């Protein structure tokens, strides 16, 4: 139910934009208005986290290797200043070090589904377009390991949990023409704490929610 609720909120935000767009087809559209597609990819730098539960309470720190962030979004620009979109993507990294645990090929992924609002500030007589934005929704967190063991208990395989997620971002786009642009930006992404339940006896593994800084290279196509 939580996943459906968060997805519904995101889809409603996008639906409002598309409904407005449909209504505007009967009159002259503002400059810059119309649907668009965006794609981003780049390195992701995870802040140190913590294992908060492994069968019982735990407080072991987690260091992550440099990961990757990628996403795609479809949305609608109401004019050259304001746009909304719905985004899905992947943000993940491998565990680098967890004191007190043996870790083999252990990774934490997040698959975000977010509704965003973006404010752009075109510079007159320039190809440069600065932007800032925020988004909120959910993420499907996935804990995947070949073996994660603390000397007494261990887990193997993948389990997932749906959590609240949000992000803030800013950057620069550089126009290639009236419909395409390339850019570079910064994104901060965060989630609440996920809990994973491993069989056969619902063994709980809880991890502090991620806090991720990403540098993203972007492509934007408007229609």
Mean pLDDT along residues 69-74:
98
State the DSSP string of 20-74. HHHHHTTSPPPTT-EEEEEEEEEEEEEPPEEEEEESEEEEEEEEE--EEEEEEEE
- Residue-level pLDDT at 32: 86
Domain tally, the chain: 1
Q: Which residue has the tokens 């609002």?
A: 117
Q: What percent of the chain has pLDDT over 70?
A: 88
Q: What is the pLDDT of residues 3-30, one digit of tens each?
A: 444 444 444 444 444 444 444 444 588 8
Could you list the residue range(s) of the whole structural domain that residue 44 is in? 2-222
Task: Provide the mean pLDDT of the chain.
Answer: 90
What is the domain-level CATH number for residue 153?
2.40.160.20
Q: Say what the pTM is.
A: 0.86
């Amino acid at each position: 139910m939580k996943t459906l609720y968060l997805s519904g909120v995101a889809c409603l935000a996008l639906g409002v934009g598309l409904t407005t767009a449909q209504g505007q087809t009967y009159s002259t559209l503002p400059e810059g208005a119309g649907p668009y597609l965006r794609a981003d990819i780049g390195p992701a730098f995870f802040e140190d986290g913590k294992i908060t539960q492994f069968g019982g309470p735990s407080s072991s720190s987690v260091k992550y290797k440099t990961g990757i962030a990628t996403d795609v979004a479809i949305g609608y620009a109401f004019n050259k200043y304001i746009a909304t979109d719905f985004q899905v993507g992947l943000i993940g990294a491998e565990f680098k070090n967890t004191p007190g645990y043996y870790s083999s090929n252990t990774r934490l992924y997040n698959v975000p589904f977010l509704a965003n609002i973006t404010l752009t500030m075109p510079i007159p007589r320039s190809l440069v377009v600065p932007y800032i934005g925020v988004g909120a929704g959910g993420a499907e967190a996935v804990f995947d390991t070949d073996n994660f063991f603390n000397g007494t208990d261990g887990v193997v395989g993948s389990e997932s949990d749906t959590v609240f997620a949000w992000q803030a971002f800013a950057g620069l786009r550089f126009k290639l023409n009236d419909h395409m642009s390339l850019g570079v930006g910064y994104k901060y992404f965060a989630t609440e704490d996920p809990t994973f339940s491993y069989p056969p006896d619902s063994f709980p593994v809880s991890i502090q929610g991620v806090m991720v800084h990403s540098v993203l290279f972007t492509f934007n196509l408007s229609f």
